[in-house]
Homo-oligomer: A and B are copies of this chain.
């Protein structure tokens, strides 16, 4: 059991959403803001006197450093940029730039500082995301944050809300590498983690925005993402078999560890792909655009009217409690073994469902 604390969640909402609600509840809002709280990966602000919409997001690499999940300074630099770029991708914004907000320990070694810096620079180059500025502090612990800015010139919005029953669910690429990486780093120290250096889907997001009814990145894992899309749009999902959805290295990692393949989708560490829904009549045009950009999005399921998740496992449809999966890491007090035990319990209590 986790200790009760002022940071514990209100019942009925995912812990993370409840915390943010509690936090931001009383703050003044902007009449220019297009999205409600939790309804978009980036904040969407209509620019006065212009059709354009500004996309803004901020994200830090903090728990990943403290938990030991990220130890390589190059990866820390790379991810500081990517977690923010990925939010811009999920709203289909064109990148304008990034501000860095970093606290560096005074005893940080020279080659670690260089690696951190190279990780940032390489990620910015790959994303086409110029460094606009930032703030550097010296402190007891390494803490890396950033704020990314993008532009949606025509003002057409893509948020987490809008999926409709019958829409097809797509992923921008194979899933599960974030989960497999965390499994190796935190629970299987003798196993080499799979290569993990995700590139945000900025170009793909700009295509998705023209066709999709909703979109979100899988920064917290695919199942947490689907739980949130389900909550915000009031729909459910039928998900193809995990074997078809997973990256081969993630599937291999699950099998080597003797775990159900869907555990690689559970989060809370995701792979920074996009999940989005496309109405059936738009699929041909969408696939043509994607193909022209040499990108092959993957259809991984369907949107259902009933607000629950059904997953295909060994040829049978089972109900998966996505809220329980999403909250499991926090409920386990952040302990990886206790978390895995919770997933095992959830897996054992899945019940048969109708075809979605």
**A residues whose Cβ falls under 8 Å from a Cβ of B:** 3, 5-7, 19-20, 23-24, 26-30, 32-33, 37, 42-43, 45, 47-50, 52, 54, 56-60, 62-63, 66, 96-97, 99-104, 106-110, 113, 117, 120-121, 124-125, 129-141, 143, 145, 147, 149, 151, 153, 334
Contacts and interface: CB of A to CB of B under 8 A. Distances in A.
Given A6-B110, A113-B6, A135 B45 contact: no
A63 B96 contact: no
B99 A48 contact: no
Given A30-B130, A130-B28, A151 B47 contact: yes
A93 to B, nearest CB: 13
Nearest to A98: B27
Contact of A27 (B48, B101, B124): B124
Given A27-B130, A29-B131, A57-B133, A97 B20 contact: no
Contact of A58 (B28, B101, B108, B129): B101
A138 B137 CA distance: 20
Contacts of A120: 27
A6 to B, nearest CB: 4
Given A6-B110, A135-B60, A137-B60, A145 B20 contact: no
Contacts of A101: 58-60, 101, 145, 147
A20 B26 CA distance: 36
Given A99-B56, A130-B27, A108 B45 contact: no
Given A28-B124, A147-B147, 19 more contacts: A6-B110, A19-B136, A20-B134, A20-B136, A23-B117, A23-B134, A28-B121, A29-B130, A30-B97, A30-B130, A32-B97, A48-B151, A56-B132, A58-B133, A63-B137, A99-B147, A101-B145, A140-B141, A149-B149
Nearest to A130: B30
Nearest to A83: B135
B62 A96 contact: no
Given A106-B5, A124-B27, A141-B141, A133 B37 contact: yes
Contacts of A30: 96-97, 130, 132
Contact of A43 (B54, B132, B137, B151): B132
